[in-house]
Amino acid sequence: MPSSRLRAWERRTDSVLLGVGILFLAGWALPIVLPQLPENTDRWLEGIQQTAWALFAADYAIRVWLSDRRRHFIATHIPSLLVVLLPLLRPLAVLRSLLLLTALMRRVTLPLRMRVTVYVSGWACFLALVGAIAVLDAERRSADPTIVTLSDALWWSLTTMTTVGYGDLYPTTLEGRLIAATLMLSGIALLGVVTASIAAWFVERFQQTSAAESRNEADLRLVLAELRKVRARLDELAERRDDGPGTTAGSG
């Protein structure tokens, strides 16, 4: 259970870190999507990335300091630690901004399964976009690339995450293949979550229907039992009525 200070810090910084994550994503993606940008603009965007990364690092350090169980916090937040420590993973720091989705879901009155579906859908769309931009950057350094435009990269990312894999577009660099493997595993995992959520919804509906039918059967049995009692009482009253005149006549 996070400490009260840590929860208060995360509530205050969720929105700020979302903005920082968006700026980080823009600083990383724009030079890839628009390679003709002026050199000054490239340097300015690089500065945005450095600043955003520094803010993420500061946020991680503060959260560790505010945590009551610091070793447990570090052990359960390995991705955040890797983002801070490994420069090659710095583009993935923007994933921290998706934690705002969790905060937003806490404020939205939706069923738990609906929140899971929205959260998974957000992750899938985000990973598809980031994967497309990352593979486009990697394949531009290839001698014989097949993915040369953003539309190619988005199409390849979609077919890879859905495990369709038409084979018309494919990465030729080691970095591109590592990105492809990540998207494949992520797509399988996300598909499994969605499938499990749908299956759980059907099972829950079946259980609710079965429980309703059981309640209806129980209510019906109670009604039949009451009807039997009423009928028995009516039969008893009818017998008394029929016996009454006969007894009077006999005594006369």
- pLDDT tens-place string over residues 96-107: 555 445 445 555
**What is residue 162's predicted lDDT score, i.e. its pLDDT?**
85
List phi, psi (to 5°) of 38. -60, 155
Task: Choose between 194 and 167: higher pLDDT.
Answer: 167
- pLDDT tens-place string over residues 2-30: 678 888 888 888 778 777 877 888 888 88
Q: Where do the H-state alpha helices sit in 67-165?
A: 70-76, 78-85, 99-107, 112-139, 150-161
In this predicted structure, the answer to whether residue 95 has a pLDDT above a threshold of 70 is no
**What is residue 251's predicted lDDT score, i.e. its pLDDT?**
46
SS3 content of the chain, % helix, strand, coil (to 5): 85, 0, 15
Q: Please return the burial class of 21, using the count of CB atoms within 10 Å of its CB with bins 0-12, 13-18 and 19+.
A: buried
pTM here is 0.66
Mean pLDDT, rounded, of the chain? 79
- pLDDT tens-place string over residues 45-88: 889 888 888 888 888 899 899 888 888 888 887 777 776 776 55
**What is residue 126's predicted lDDT score, i.e. its pLDDT?**
81
